[in-house]
Structure 1
Amino acid sequence: MSNPFEDKDDAYVVLINDVGQYSLWPAFALVPAGWTQVFGQDREACLAYIEAHWTDMRPRQASESITEVAAGDRG
């Protein structure tokens, strides 16, 4: 049995959660709770979308907290 996350010929979607993390997901699978579909196409297009949009691997709240602390240090 092949891994549905690695089949280059299947359709995929891109999911995002509330903290801005992205996931490549097989199009046939139900979207898990807490995730929203934001893009869908072939595997390579989905990977390109994630590469272009997920520029900070830290969860949104963590990156915002670090930015706030850094801004406070300049004050």
Structure 2
Amino acid sequence: MNENDVDNRTYSVVVNEEEQYSIWLAGRSLPAGWNEIGHTGSKTECLDYIGEVWTDMRPKSVRQAMDARG
């Protein structure tokens, strides 16, 4: 890896209404339907955070439908 490959940018962890997580460059306008959750850091830090908190990858609507069926 050369020095041009180093990503020193700051990212924000974002979540949509289906409770799916992603990262977004801090300070940029978010796409419709996504909200910042207050966690920022390097790309690695944000992805590590998502790995800790997003333990059920199913969208919220799928989880709710499955729970309703019992």
Q: Counterpart in 2 of 1:54? A: 54
Q: What displacement does 1:17 show?
A: 0.6
Q: What value does the CA root-mean-square deviation take over the aligned residues?
A: 1.8
Q: What displacement does 1:7 show?
A: 5.8
Q: Counterpart in 1 of 2:22? A: 23
Structure 1 gaps, min length 5: 1-5
**Given the superposition, is the C-alpha separation of residues 7 and 14 from structure 1 closer, same or farther in structure 2, using an over 3 Å criterion?**
farther
Structure showing greater radius of gyration is 1
Q: Counterpart in 2 of 1:32? A: 31
TM-score when scaled to structure 2? 0.78
For the residues of structure 2 that align with 1:7 and 1:68, how far apart are their CA atoms?
A: 46
Residue 57 of structure 1 aligns to a residue whose secondary structure is coil
Determine what percentage of the aligned residue pairs are the same residue: 34
**Given the superposition, is the C-alpha separation of residues 63 and 25 from structure 1 closer, same or farther in structure 2, using an over 3 Å criterion?**
same
Structure 2 gaps, min length 5: none
Q: What displacement does 1:10 show?
A: 1.0
Q: Counterpart in 1 of 2:41? A: 41
Query: How many residue pairs align between the two structures?
Result: 65
**Given the superposition, is the C-alpha separation of residues 16 and 28 from structure 1 closer, same or farther in structure 2, using an over 3 Å criterion?**
same
Residue 49 of structure 2 aligns to a residue whose secondary structure is helix
Q: What displacement does 1:66 show?
A: 0.9
Verify: 1:11 aligned to 2:10, yes or no.
yes
For the residues of structure 2 that align with 1:62 and 1:35, how far apart are their CA atoms?
A: 18
